[in-house]
Amino acid sequence: MDEYFKNQVAVVTGAGGTLCSEIAVDLACRGARVVLIGRTAGKLQSVADRITGNGGTCLIRPGDVTDEGAMKEIATELQKTWGACRFLINGAGGNNAGAITTNTAFEPSELDAERPAGSVGFFDLDLECFETVLHINTLGTVIPCRTFGRTMAEAGRGAIVNFASMNSYRPLTRVPAYAMSKAAIVNFTSFLAAYLAPAGIRVNAVAPGFFVNERSRKILCTPEGGLTRRGENVISHTPQKRFGEARELLGCVEWLLNDEAAAFVTGVTVPVDGGFLTSVGI
C-alpha cells in the first residue's frame, strides 16, 4: 500500500492490454481505486480478477474511448460514486493491418496493374483503415482527456499520462498511420500540459520501446520462438539487446503520476526503450 495512491481514483484506458494491465494492477496494489476501460470485457475481467485477488479495488467499464458520450457517462458515474478522477492513463490505441505496407520503400512494381500478390505499397493503402488508426490513437486520447480531465479541473488537481511510441521520434517503416498518430500524441501532450497547468493538472507521456505483446509478437518473433528480420533489426538497434518487460514501465509511470516526486515535471515524453533512440545502427 502506498499512502500517496491510497483511495485515489485512477482511470486506465486500454486496460486489457499487455502494458496497461500491468499499470492497472500496480496502481491497485498501491491502493488506488482503478477503473478499467477497454473494448473487450473478457480481457478487462482477467485484469480485474488479478486486482481483486490481490485485495485491490476496481471497476470494469467496457467502452470505446472515441465515443465521447460513453466516456462522459463513466466520468459522471465516477464523480457520484468514487469522486473525481485523480490519475488518467491513456493507453488505448492500436494499428490496422490495412494501414500497413509490405514494402519498406517504393518499388517500381507498386505502379504495375498486375503487381505481385500480397504486395502493398503506400499507394495501395486503404484510406479508411488509415483513418481508423489516426482516430483511435488521437481522438482516443483527446476524448478521455476532455471527459476525465474536466473532473480533475473541477477538483483542482490531477495527473495524466499519455502513450507515445518510438514512432513518435522516428517514423518506422511500414506503419505510416501509426507513426503519424503517435507523433501527434507528443505534440498534444505538450499543448495540454501548458493549457491545464493553471488547473493544477500535469500532463506527460511515456514512449515505450519494443515490448512484446500479442500484436507485435507476430511481427517481431517467429512461430518457433526466434526473431523475424524485423525483430533482429530492432534488437540490433537496442543497446540492451532485448525487448522490454511490462513491469519495467511501472517505475516511470508511477513517477510521472506522483505530484510529490514529479511536481515540476509536465509536458514531457519519456522514452522507456532500452536505449533504442540512442542508436543509429552504425
pLDDT digits (tens), the chain, 282 positions: 688 999 999 999 999 999 999 999 999 999 999 999 999 999 999 999 999 999 999 999 999 999 999 999 999 999 999 999 999 999 999 999 999 999 999 999 889 888 778 889 999 999 999 999 999 999 999 999 999 999 999 999 999 999 999 999 989 999 999 999 999 999 999 999 999 999 999 999 999 999 987 777 777 888 888 888 888 999 999 999 999 999 999 999 999 999 999 999 999 999 999 999 999 776
Give the integer Cα–Cα distance in Å for 14 and 11: 10
Distance of CA 144 to the CA centre of its chain: 13
Between CA 257 and CA 265 the distance in angstroms is 10
**Which class for 93: exposed (0-12), middle (13-18), buried (19 or more C-beta within 10 A)?**
buried
Residue 103 to residue 173: CA distance in whole angstroms: 8
What are the beta bridge partners of residue 90? 13, 162
Position 268 in a domain: yes
Is residue 48 assigned to a domain?
yes
- The residues facing 194 across adjacent strands are none
Confirm if 152 and 203 have CB atoms less than 8 A apart. Answer: no
Name residues whose C-beta falls within 8 Å of residue 44's C-beta, 6 or more positions apart in sequence.
15, 16, 36, 37, 38, 60, 62
- Within the chain, strands assigned E span 9-13, 33-38, 57-62, 87-90, 158-163, 201-208, 269-272
Which among 4, 169, 178, 195 is annotated as catalytic?
A: 178
Q: Is 169 labeled as catalytic in the residue annotation?
A: no
In a domain, 238, yes or no: no
Does residue 239 lie in a domain region?
Answer: no
Domain-embedded: residue 59: yes
**217 in Cβ contact with 279 (< 8 Å):** no
pLDDT of residue 1: 67
Residue 223 lies in a domain: no
What are the residues whose beta carbons fall under 8 Å from the beta carbon of 167, sequence distance 6 or more?
175, 178, 179, 182, 183
* pLDDT the model gives residue 217: 78
Q: Do 183 and 172 contact (CB within 8 A), yes or no?
A: no
Q: What is the pLDDT of residue 255?
A: 98
* Whole-prediction pTM: 0.95
Q: What is the CATH number of the domain that holds 29?
A: 3.40.50.720
Q: Is residue 15 one of the residues assigned to a domain?
A: yes
Give the domain extent around 40.
Answer: 9-214+246-278
Residue 131 belongs to a domain = yes
Domain count, the chain: 1
